[in-house]
Structure 1
Amino acid sequence: MTDKISPKLLVPALDTASNAGTSATTLAQAGYKAVGRYYSRYSWKQLTRAEASELFTADMDIFVVYEDNNDAPSYFSADIGNQQALRALYQADAVIQQPRQTGIYFAVDYDASSYDYTHYIRPYLRAINEVFASFGYPYHVGIYGNGIVCSCAKDDGLAKLTWLSQSTGFYGYQEYKESGDWNILQGPYVTIAGTQYDQDTLNLNRGSYGGFGSFATPSCSN
């Protein structure tokens, strides 16, 4: 770590594609403060409102990432970005009632090159931002990926939040980790109560990482 990061503002967290609600108390007792979960077209890994309620009851925060496949260049285009952005907004607002101005990360779940970023991922992220902008940016756009993807998306103004994937051999990993510019750093696997999780570090030196610890407060109509 560089001197840009205060260890006092590094917080332990986890992420998983499995329902974490039934283990929420166990996770909290183990010292973890938040769980990363999914929005997706695939129902098996979607965060549900019941699960979110169980996590909140255990005083656990949630951060979310959108992912269908998202693990090859062919899964990234402006059309796909548009579709995934709309689906993410629907799940956040209508299903979960995620509080506004928190974050939704979008996954780039492979070792994308600079060429991939320029020709596939940048158009994908531009489309996501266009959809979010059309709704008044209710949530901050985040990116999950290797160091190149995180740094380029941040530099291009296409991601406010960055989550550096755990694969230490991926492009730009070490440089981006040492920059201290990440909001979440993914680490090695751990098994808790029979479920496999990735361990994460939340970097509060960079302010909010986009997580939330309650449902949105319903607004009153006149």
Structure 2
Amino acid sequence: MPKGIDKATPFTAAQAKTLAAAGYEFAARYLVPPSYAWKRMTSDEAKLITAAGMQIVSVFETTANRAASGADAGRNDGAAAYAEALAVGQPKGTAIYFAVDYDAQQRDYDNIEAYLKAAAKQTTGYKTGVYGSYAVVEEMAKRGACTHFWQTYAWSKGKRSSRANILQYKIDTKVSGIALDLNESYGNEGWWNANPPAPPEEEITMKPEDADKIIKFLSAAWFAATTKADKAEFNRLANEVRKAAGIPVQ
């Protein structure tokens, strides 16, 4: 299973390279407003994490028990997280986790659910997840409050949820002198990187044998053409037919 870290403060390029070389495959960092600059991820940081060879997990957290404030807080935080995700270049379809970074109790669950669902409505195109204890992960999964789950061992009483996509199994430690927490992942993490997306493959919409027949007619027209412009146009049309059939252009 992939090993990763989460870190409160921004990476330097040297730190990212050191941790990637040590075998860590992903790094969790914060999408937060500029007023939290001490822990805020920027697009430049996302690029250097990617350049080192690690994937990125995005998490939103301002204060530890913010999610207990309910739907209004969720709407505000969702909008803020959305703006930050766009600013750092996070691709749509990946996940933004919202933190429940305290020992939440049964009395808090309704507000946490409302917070997560309100945040999800503001993060159009992104998946939403929750970071929290075993009980929080289990309860929010049961309620359908989000789609991704990052469990911390804190407050979990030794239990691990089968719903967890990521598990934070050790906090407040150091690797090569870098202060961080340790994680492992189990799939469908919703992580991302800053590499540009691969260009879409051209769709094949025509059978090669049909393309050959059309190209023969275009070839005859090419030979009959009397101007360079007409010949160039027939050649262009033939190549468009070749593309539609997945045949190399000429």
| TM-score under structure 2 length normalisation | 0.73
> Percent identity, aligned pairs only?
31
Q: Identify which of 86, 90, 112 aligns with 2:83.
A: 90
Shift of residue 192 of structure 1?
2.6
Shift of residue 193 of structure 1?
3.9
Q: Identify which of 68, 75, 91 aligns with 1:99.
A: 91
Alpha-carbon distance in structure 2 between the residues aligned to 1:218 and 1:123: 37
Alignment partner, residue 54 of structure 2: 60
Task: Find out whether 1:188 has 2:170 as its counterpart.
Answer: yes
Alignment partner, residue 235 of structure 2: none
Give the structure with higher Rg (CA).
2
For the 8 Å contact 2:31–2:59, the answer to whether it is kept is yes
Q: Identify which of 139, 147, 151 aligns with 2:126.
A: 139
Task: Find out whether 1:112 has 2:95 as its counterpart.
Answer: no
Q: Deviations over 1:37-90 (max 9, x none)?
A: 0011312111111111111111111101100003367x5221110000000000
For the 8 Å contact 2:93–2:127, the answer to whether it is kept is yes
| TM-score under structure 1 length normalisation | 0.81
Q: Secondary structure at the match of 2:168?
A: strand
Aligned residue identity for 1:87:
A
Alpha-carbon distance in structure 2 between the residues aligned to 1:18 and 1:199: 15
Number of aligned pairs? 195
Q: Identify which of 57, 71, 86 aligns with 1:78.
A: 71
Moved over 6 A (4+): none
Which protein has greater RCO, CA pairs closer than 8 Å, 6+ apart? Answer: 1
- What runs of 5+ residues in structure 1 fail to find an aligned partner? 1-9
Alpha-carbon distance in structure 2 between the residues aligned to 1:109 and 1:33: 23
Root-mean-square deviation (Å): 2.0
Aligned residue identity for 2:98:
F
Q: Identify which of 103, 108, 130 aligns with 2:121.
A: 130
Shift of residue 218 of structure 1?
10
Q: 1:91 to 1:216 in 2, by over 3 A?
A: farther
